[in-house]
């Protein structure tokens, strides 16, 4: 059952069984985790409370030990003059010196007295015993001078940590200064360890509050070989984790925790007693391994109990849900019948159970809902509305970059021009063209080119254009355009500069190549430079080309005095002429015959587009085709040619026509469907139609061209590769392109009768194409000598003025008969 549920999960859904199981598991896990955390928190709080008591007690114990030692030293100070009998003729100094020389070792061994000094009434300090000892701190001398009749205490840690006690000295009933005893703190720390089991270390206060990284000099420490690394580590952790402003100095002698340490086996707690004496702190270390192990064991037990409860609950849930989920699964398996309109069958397979209230559940309600739903299906209307919205979006946006397409962008541009004119404001149009974008396609493939376009669109969308109220669109290929509804000349230039920076930030890497493009931008202002959208686009295009002439990544502001204005005007005029010619039916097809060399028959022709002027003169395609490609009208012309060529073949069933496709038609995913529709409408066999694209177009859009060729051939039409031999990678791509015919470029045919190199090339192409089961057509066959050489090489078809010039179809000479007439 688990395997089946996993299979369903892979197929696109997660079983309700597992959803309930996961949900319950999460809830129980949270509850158990909370309980375990609560238990752990309670134990930790109890431990902390206990340790607080321990720290307070140990602080008091250490202070008490030090005070007790001061009391001992006070008693010893009174005993020192009495250690030897007094001679009648000796001075106080001689008496003290004799007493200490005799009993100094005993004081050291029995009472840990390391030094005895005499502070005379005049303030002079004299070392009585031993011969060399630590100098008395000036602080102690000052205390004695201030209060000569009182006992003075001092804990000082210059080189070693010592307790000093200065007791008033009487000699022969008179005050004779003070006797100062010095004692090491080490014995007090050892006594503290013996009493509490804790380790201790004395150090200057500055180190205890965060200077540990500079190295700590412990003045006194118990068991240094063991405890020194632990104390240094604690100080390091404290210095690393505490903020400088968070260090607080507690009351003198009060404990403050530094940190808790752990090694592979044991746990330790280190806390500090601040200001045990002036400028002196004490670190105390307690081993807390047993307490931590107890807390961990209790926490593990809590988790184990919670996990056991979780497993038991999950098992019970699975048993309870088994039957209900089986009914629910059955319902899910039958629901697809609604989509196939098998309403009566689904009602028959899902009978209603009229069960009483105790047995009735949500699944019964769901079955009733399905019965009602089978008679209604309102959801279909919503689906249709969504589909309509999606179609509207697709009609107005570029599917690759999600930006406005050319048609919708032109509408927004016209709207912006109208607003600027009505409101007496200024606007700007930026025409953006990516520099050397073709290199990305040629080197890394069109999928990387598409990725680059998407990233550029994303940069422009979220960058400078996002906050300016501008309108952004993709016109096609690597061309973008931006409308700034309310912008001055300076703002338009600033925007162009920002756009160039945004484009330069786009970097893609593929197959070891790193691509970074720049943008050339043409700027026009409206209504300053005009109020016609098509004219402004032409001006912006012209300004963009002038920017390119300056170098990559430049912008150019259009000027009416630009030398290229005539070119822009001509482009606008020709674009309008194309529109008028389409409306007034002044476009016509001419066809040029294609000779089958082996049989000498003419049964194929190439359809060529021509335009008539208003006075009836014939306009060559070179005048208007480039303009149509720049303005985007070429797709309209492509569809016009296809429609009329197929219609012509309906009237001439014996005629086989070839139709040229533009580069934009190769990108048009709707073209195969349109071809199929036209062939069906005019009842023309698909084998009569051949579509042609040039080698350059095919290679520059290899993936789209390959897709289009496969789809066209699947319909039953033929596909030809035109102008073969002009590309830099002809041989490499010929095998990849699923074409039926290869048309060799006329540059290799014109002089073939006299050029041995051209003959070698044409022969190689012919043999290679025949080896791939492709037919070969030679263009620009202008005399009989050329035709004779082509026949000797084995070319399949010939086309050129020697075979026949392009002519319009006539009703008097239909189809193949007219082609024969033209060729004669």
Tokens of 280: 């002196």
Average pLDDT (446-457) is 87
Tokens of 25: 């598991």
Long-range contacts of 18-22 (CB under 8 A, 24+ apart): 20/317, 20/321, 21/314, 21/317, 21/318
Which helix (H) or strand (E) element contains residue 152? strand 152-157
What distance in Å separates the CA atoms of residue 553 and residue 541, rounded to the nearest whole number?
15
Residue range 256-286, pLDDT digits in tens: 666 777 777 889 999 988 878 888 889 999 9
Please give the share of the chain, as a percent, with pLDDT higher than 70.
87
Residue range 519-544, pLDDT digits in tens: 999 999 999 998 888 889 988 988 99
Q: What architecture is the 398-563 domain classified under in CATH? A: 2-Layer Sandwich (3.30)
Residue 489 CA to chain centroid, in angstroms?
A: 36
Provide CB contacts within 8 A for 498, sequence distance 6+.
Answer: 463, 464
* Residues 59 and 253 sit within 8 Å (Cβ to Cβ): yes
What distance in Å separates the CA atoms of residue 642 and residue 660, rounded to the nearest whole number?
9
Tokens of 159: 């080189």
Positions of E strands within 20-97: none
Query: Strand 255-262 relative to strand 267-277: parallel, antiparallel, unpaired?
Result: antiparallel
Tell which residue, 599, 596, 536, has the closest CA to residue 568.
Answer: 536
The CA distances from residue 199 to 64, 162, 209, 221, 226, in Å, are 16, 18, 19, 8, 10
What distance in Å separates the CA atoms of residue 495 and residue 608, rounded to the nearest whole number?
44
Positive or negative, the Cα torsion across 767, 769, 770, 771? positive
| For residue 431, pLDDT beyond 80 | yes
Q: Furthest-apart CA pair in the chain: how many Å?
A: 168
* Residues 244 and 284 sit within 8 Å (Cβ to Cβ): no
* Residues 218 and 202 sit within 8 Å (Cβ to Cβ): yes
Residue range 486-524, pLDDT digits in tens: 888 999 999 999 999 998 888 888 777 788 888 999 999
- pLDDT, position 596: 94
Residue range 660-683, pLDDT digits in tens: 998 888 888 899 999 999 999 999
Query: 3-state DSSP call for residue 182?
Result: strand
- pLDDT, position 340: 76
Query: 3-state DSSP call for residue 212?
Result: helix
User: What count of residues does the chain have?
Assistant: 824
Q: What is the DSSP letter of 222?
A: S
How would you classify residue 261: left for phi > 0, otherwise alpha for psi between -120 and 50, otherwise beta? beta
What distance in Å separates the CA atoms of residue 540 and residue 568, rounded to the nearest whole number?
9
* Residues 727 and 756 sit within 8 Å (Cβ to Cβ): no
> Look-up: residue for tokens 């102008």?
723
- pLDDT, position 760: 87
* Residues 204 and 282 sit within 8 Å (Cβ to Cβ): no
Query: 3-state DSSP call for residue 520?
Result: strand
- For the chain, the domains span 198-287, 398-563, 576-823
What distance in Å separates the CA atoms of residue 30 and residue 36, rounded to the nearest whole number?
10
For residue 63, how many other CB atoms are within 10 A of its CB? Answer: 15
- pLDDT, position 358: 67
SS3 per residue for 796-824: CEECCCCCCCCECCCCCCCHHHHHHHHHC
Query: 3-state DSSP call for residue 246?
Result: helix
- pLDDT, position 263: 74
Pick the CATH number of 576-823 from 1.25.40.80, 3.40.50.300, 3.20.20.450, 3.30.1370.10: 3.20.20.450
* Residues 161 and 219 sit within 8 Å (Cβ to Cβ): yes
* Residues 609 and 637 sit within 8 Å (Cβ to Cβ): yes
How would you classify residue 245: left for phi > 0, otherwise alpha for psi between -120 and 50, otherwise beta? alpha
Query: Strand 689-694 relative to strand 718-724: parallel, antiparallel, unpaired?
Result: parallel
- pLDDT, position 811: 40
The CA distances from residue 806 to 332, 706, 801, 822, in Å, are 66, 30, 8, 9
Average pLDDT (590-606) is 93
pLDDT band at 83 (very low <50, low <70, confident <90, very high): confident
How would you classify residue 403: left for phi > 0, otherwise alpha for psi between -120 and 50, otherwise beta? beta
């Amino acid at each position: 059952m688990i395997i089946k549920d996993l299979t369903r999960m892979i197929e696109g859904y997660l079983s309700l069984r597992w959803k309930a199981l996961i949900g319950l598991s999460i809830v129980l896990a949270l509850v158990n985790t909370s309980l375990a955390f609560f238990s752990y928190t309670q134990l930790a709080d109890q431990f902390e409370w206990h340790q607080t008591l321990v720290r307070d007690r140990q602080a008091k114990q250490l202070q008490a030990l030090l005070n007790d030692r001061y009391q001992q030293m006070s008693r010893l100070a009174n005993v020192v003059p009495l250690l030897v009998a007094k001679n009648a003729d000796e001075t106080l100094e001689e008496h003290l010196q004799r007493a200490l020389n005799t009993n100094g070792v005993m004081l050291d061994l029995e009472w840990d007295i390391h030094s005895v000094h005499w502070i005379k009434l005049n303030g002079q300090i004299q070392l009585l015993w031993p011969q060399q000892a630590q100098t008395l701190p000036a602080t102690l001398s000052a205390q004695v001078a201030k209060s000569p009749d009182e006992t003075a205490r001092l804990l000082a840690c210059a080189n070693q940590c010592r307790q000093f006690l200065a007791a008033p000295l009487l000699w022969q009933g008179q005050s004779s200064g003070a006797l100062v005893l010095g004692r090491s703190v080490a014995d007090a720390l050892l006594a503290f360890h013996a009493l509490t089991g804790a380790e201790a270390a004395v150090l200057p206060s500055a180190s205890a509050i965060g200077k540990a990284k500079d190295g700590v000099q412990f003045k006194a420490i118990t068991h240094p070989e063991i405890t020194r690394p632990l104390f240094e580590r604690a100080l390091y952790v404290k210095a690393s984790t505490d903020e400088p402003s968070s260090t607080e100095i507690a009351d003198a002698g009060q404990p403050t925790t530094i940190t808790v340490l752990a090694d592979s086996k044991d746990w330790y707690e280190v806390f500090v007693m601040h200001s045990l004496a002036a400028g002196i702190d004490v670190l105390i270390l307690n081993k807390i391994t047993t307490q931590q192990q107890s807390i961990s064991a209790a926490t593990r037990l809590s988790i184990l109990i919670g996990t056991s409860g979780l497993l038991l609950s999950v098992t019970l849930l699975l048993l309870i849900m088994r039957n209900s989920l089986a009914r629910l699964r059955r319902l899910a398996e039958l629901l697809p019948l609604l989509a196939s309109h098998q309403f009566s069958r689904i009602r028959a397979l899902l009978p209603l159970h009229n069960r009483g209230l105790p047995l009735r559940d949500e699944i019964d309600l769901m079955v009733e809902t399905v019965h009602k739903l089978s008679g209604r299906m309102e959801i279909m209307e919503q689906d249709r509305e969504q589909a309509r919205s999606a179609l509207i979006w697709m009609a107005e946006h570029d599917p690759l970059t999600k930006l406005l397409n050319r048609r919708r962008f032109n509408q927004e541009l016209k709207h912006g021009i109208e607003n600027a004119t009505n409101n007496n404001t200024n606007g700007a149009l930026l025409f953006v063209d990516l520099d050397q974008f073709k290199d990305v396609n040629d080197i890394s493939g069109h999928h990387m080119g598409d990725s680059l376009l998407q990233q550029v669109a994303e940069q422009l969308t979220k960058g400078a254009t996002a906050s300016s109220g501008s309108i952004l669109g993709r016109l096609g290929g690597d061309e973008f355009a931006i409308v700034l509804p309310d912008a001055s000349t300076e703002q338009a230039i600033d925007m162009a500069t920002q756009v160039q920076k945004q484009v330069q930030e786009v970097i893609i890497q593929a197959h070891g190549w790193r691509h970074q493009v720049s943008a050339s931008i043409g700027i026009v202002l409206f209504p300053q430079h005009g109020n016609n959208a098509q004219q402004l686009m032409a001006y912006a295009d012209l300004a963009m080309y002038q920017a390119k002439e300056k170098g990559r990544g430049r912008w150019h502001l259009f000027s009416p005095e630009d030398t290229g204005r005539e070119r822009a005007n001509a482009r606008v005029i020709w674009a309008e002429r194309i529109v008028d010619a389409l409306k007034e039916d002044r476009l016509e097809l001419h066809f040029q015959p294609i000779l089958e060399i082996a049989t000498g028959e003419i049964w194929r022709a190439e359809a060529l587009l021509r335009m008539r002027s208003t006075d009836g003169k014939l306009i060559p395609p070179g005048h208007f085709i480039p303009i149509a490609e720049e303005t985007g009208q070429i797709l309209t012309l492509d569809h016009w040619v296809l429609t009329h060529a197929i219609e012509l073949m309906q009237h001439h069933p014996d005629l086989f026509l070839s139709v040229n496709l533009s580069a934009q038609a190769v990108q048009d995913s709707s073209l195969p469907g349109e071809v199929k529709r036209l062939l069906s409408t005019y009842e023309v066999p698909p084998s009569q139609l051949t579509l042609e694209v040039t080698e350059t177009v095919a290679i520059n859009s290899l993936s789209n061209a390959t897709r289009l060729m496969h789809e066209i051939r699947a319909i039953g039409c033929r596909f030809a590769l035109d102008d073969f031999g002009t590309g830099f990678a002809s041989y490499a791509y010929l095998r990849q392109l699923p074409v039926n015919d290869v048309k060799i470029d006329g540059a290799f045919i014109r002089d073939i009768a006299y050029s041995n190199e051209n003959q070698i090339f044409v022969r190689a192409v012919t043999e290679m194409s025949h080896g791939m089961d492709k037919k070969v057509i030679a263009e620009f066959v202008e005399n009989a000598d050329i035709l004779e050489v082509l026949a000797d090489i084995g070319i399949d078809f010939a086309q050129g003025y020697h075979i026949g010039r392009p002519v319009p179809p006539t009703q008097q000479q239909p189809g193949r008969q007219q082609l024969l007439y033209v060729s004669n």
